[in-house]
Amino acid sequence: MLTKGGCPKNMLSIRDALEALEGRWKLLILFSLQPGAKRFKEISKEVTGITDKTLSKELKILEMNQLVKREVYDTFPPTVEYTITAHGKSLEKVMEELHYWGLAHRREIMGK
Amino acid sequence: MLTKGGCPKNMLSIRDALEALEGRWKLLILFSLQPGAKRFKEISKEVTGITDKTLSKELKILEMNQLVKREVYDTFPPTVEYTITAHGKSLEKVMEELHYWGLAHRREIMGK
């Protein structure tokens, strides 16, 4: 098993991942973009509780890490859309495992 | 696939997981406890960059979420040890996927 022995090399890659995904919002934003491109307001509505300021900041970091692509369309007024990149989509297994663990955690701690 | 369609119910469980694991430290602390019980100073040494204040705070939250157990031994002076619980160990798959993704992210972004 990977985590047997707590190999420092493995810790480095987990650290890289955690730094790129830091906070409670990034994965939720990526999750909301899975079905397709969305505008800022649509993401904001789907990711309950996030403020516009935080969403704007998080989208910039996600773009910097090549997880999200921001596209501006030459309409009047201009339209901005966000899409998840292939690299962002590669987080699917992480999200899947977090989903299963989140369910188990709810049963364990919240007794639901 | 889980994330196709961005089902709100799945988002809830991912949110639960992210709240319990928030920040860049908790999974690294749990990872360092995988091989066996450790004392505060041993964890602090292994999780490079963490301050004692943060480690102390994070351990309390991990204990509250039943991911870590704190045991005090009646020695002189008293010894305190931290162990990972079965619930904490159930994060192994999440860590494994984060490890693989962290490796891919390093290749993708950092070009290493």
Tens digits of residue pLDDT in A7-64: 666 789 999 999 999 888 999 999 999 999 999 999 999 999 999 999 999 999 999 9
Question: What was the pLDDT predicted at A6?
Answer: 54
Is A10 in contact with A56 (CB distance < 8 Å)?
no
Q: In which residue are the tokens 């690294």 written?
A: B28
**Is B98 a residue whose pLDDT tops 80?**
yes
| Chain A residues touching B87 at Cβ < 8 A | 104-105, 108
Instruction: Please tell me the least confidently modeled range out of A2-6, A81-85, A96-100, B57-61.
Output: A2-6
Instruction: Please tell me the least confidently modeled range out of A46-60, B1-15, B53-67, B79-93.
Output: B1-15
CA distance A41 to chain B (A): 16
CB contact under 8 A, A95 and B2: yes
Domain range annotation of chain B: 24-110
List helix spans (H) across B21-91.
Answer: 26-33, 40-46, 52-64, 86-89
Instruction: Please tell me the least confidently modeled range out of A19-23, A107-111, B35-39, B70-74.
Output: A107-111
Q: In which residue are the tokens 């962290």 written?
A: B102
Kindly give, in sequence order, each residue whose CB lies less than 8 Å from that of residue B52, ignoring residues fewer than 6 positions away: B40, B44
Scanning B9-48 for CB atoms below 8 A from A yields 10-20, 22-24, 27-28, 31-35, 46
| Chain A residues touching B63 at Cβ < 8 A | none
| Chain A residues touching B91 at Cβ < 8 A | 101
Q: CA geometry: angle at A92 spanning A4 and A42, to 5°? A: 140
Classify A68 as helix, strand or coil.
Answer: strand
Q: Specify whether domain B24-110 bears CATH 3.90.1170.50.
A: no
Question: What was the pLDDT predicted at B7?
Answer: 66
**Is B96 a residue whose pLDDT tops 60?**
yes
Q: How far apart are CA B87 and CA A105, in angstroms?
A: 8
CB contact under 8 A, A22 and B23: yes
Q: Specify whether domain A27-110 bears CATH 3.40.50.10070.
A: no
CA distance B66 to chain A (A): 8
CA distances from B10 to A34, A101, A103, B14 (A): 12, 11, 9, 6
- Exposure string (b/e) for A32-59, b if CB count within 10 Å is 16 or more? bbbeeebeeeebbebbeebeeebbeebb
Size of interface A-B (CB pairs under 8 A): 168
CB contact under 8 A, B34 and A3: yes
The pLDDT of B5-14, averaged and rounded, is 74
Residue B3 — pLDDT band, cuts 50, 70, 90?
Answer: very low
The pLDDT of A100-109, averaged and rounded, is 92
Q: In which residue are the tokens 């192994």 written?
A: B92
Question: What was the pLDDT predicted at A109?
Answer: 84
Question: What was the pLDDT predicted at B2?
Answer: 57
